[in-house]
C-alpha cells in the first residue's frame, strides 16, 4: 500500500496554508492566502510550484529582477518548510482518525507500506516523527517525496518511483489518495486507488478510484481483502 501524506495520512493543509502566510509576512510581502484561494492553489502540486504559479498568475514580480518568481519561490518555500515543520513537531497535527490503527494492523499482517507524495521530506519526517515516533521509518521503509522526481502529480513519476523502490509490480500495489491530482497520478502509474475524502479536497472528482470513502475510519484489512 502506497500512501499520499497531505490530506490522507493527516489533515495538514490548513497548517501548510498558515505556514505560507507566515513566510510571506516574514519576507515583508502583503500576500495572504485565504481558505478559498488556497483551495484553488492546491490544484498545483508542490509548494515551490504553487508559489511560482501564484506569482505568475498575479504578476506580483513583473517589475523585479526575478519576474517569473522562481528564486523567490525557492527562498519562500525554504522559510515556509521551517515554519511548518516546527508547527508539526509540537504535535499540533494528529494523524487522521483510523489511520494509526490501520497502519499497525497492516504492518502486523505483513502488508508492505510506502509513501508517494509531492511534499518535501522534512515535512514528512516532522509529521510522522511526531505522530508515530521513531518507528515510522520501519513502518514506511520506502519514501518517495518532494523533489525526488521532476514531474509532480498528476504525472505518474512519484508512484513509478515508489513502485520501483518497493521492487513490486504496479498492479500489485494500492494507492491511498485524497485528491484528483493524486488519483490521476496513481492511475497513470498503473495502480489501483482507494480514495478518502479530505477537508481541502472534499469536492475533488475522484473518478477512477475503486473505492471512495468518506473518511479514513473506513480503511480496514477487510476492505483490502475485498479488493485484492
Rounded Cα gap, residues 138 and 216, in angstroms? 22
Cβ–Cβ < 8 Å for 185, 158 = yes
Quick one: which H or E segment has residue 2? strand 2-3
* Measured distance CA(228)–CA(224) in Å, rounded: 6
Is residue 142 within a helix (H) or strand (E), and if so which, with residue range? Answer: strand 142-144
What is the number of alpha carbons within 13 Å of residue 214 lying toward its C-beta? 0
Q: Would you call 6 a catalytic residue per the annotation?
A: yes
For residue 30, indicate whether it is catalytic: no
* φ and ψ of 176, to 5 deg: -110, 115
The answer to whether residues 180 and 212 touch, using CB atoms and an 8 Å cutoff, is: no
Contact by Cβ (8 Å): 196, 213: yes
Residue 90: exposure state from Cβ atoms within 10 A (0-12, 13-18, ≥19): exposed
* Residue 6 β-bridge partners: 10
Q: What residues act catalytically?
A: 4, 6
Amino acid at each position: 500500500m502506497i500512501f499520499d501524506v497531505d490530506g490522507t495520512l493527516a489533515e495538514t493543509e490548513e497548517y501548510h496554508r498558515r505556514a505560507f502566510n507566515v513566510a510571506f509576512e516574514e519576507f515583508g510581502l502583503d500576500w495572504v492566502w485565504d481558505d478559498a484561494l488556497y483551495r484553488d492553489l492546491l490544484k498545483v502540486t508542490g509548494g515551490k510550484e504553487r508559489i511560482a504559479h501564484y506569482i505568475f498568475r498575479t504578476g506580483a514580480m513583473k517589475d523585479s529582477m526575478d519576474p517569473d518568481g522562481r528564486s523567490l519561490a525557492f527562498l519562500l518555500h525554504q522559510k515556509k518548510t521551517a515554519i511548518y515543520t516546527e508547527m508539526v513537531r509540537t504535535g499540533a497535527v494528529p494523524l487522521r482518525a483510523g489511520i494509526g490503527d490501520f497502519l499497525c494492523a497492516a504492518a502486523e499482517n505483513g502488508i508492505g507500506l510506502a509513501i508517494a507524495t509531492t511534499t518535501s521530506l522534512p515535512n514528512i519526517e516532522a509529521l510522522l516523527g511526531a505522530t508515530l515516533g521513531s518507528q515510522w521509518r520501519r513502518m514506511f521503509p520506502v519514501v518517495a517525496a518532494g523533489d525526488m522526481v521532476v514531474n509532480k502529480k498528476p504525472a505518474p513519476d512519484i508512484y513509478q518511483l515508489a513502485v520501483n523502490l518497493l521492487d513490486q509490480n504496479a498492479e500489485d500495489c494500492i494507492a491511498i489518495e485524497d485528491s484528483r491530482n493524486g488519483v490521476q497520478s496513481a492511475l497513470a502509474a498503473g495502480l489501483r486507488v482507494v480514495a478518502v475524502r479530505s477537508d481541502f479536497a472534499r469536492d475533488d472528482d475522484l473518478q477512477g478510484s475503486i473505492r471512495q470513502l468518506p473518511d479514513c475510519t473506513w480503511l480496514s484489512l477487510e476492505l483490502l481483502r475485498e479488493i485484492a
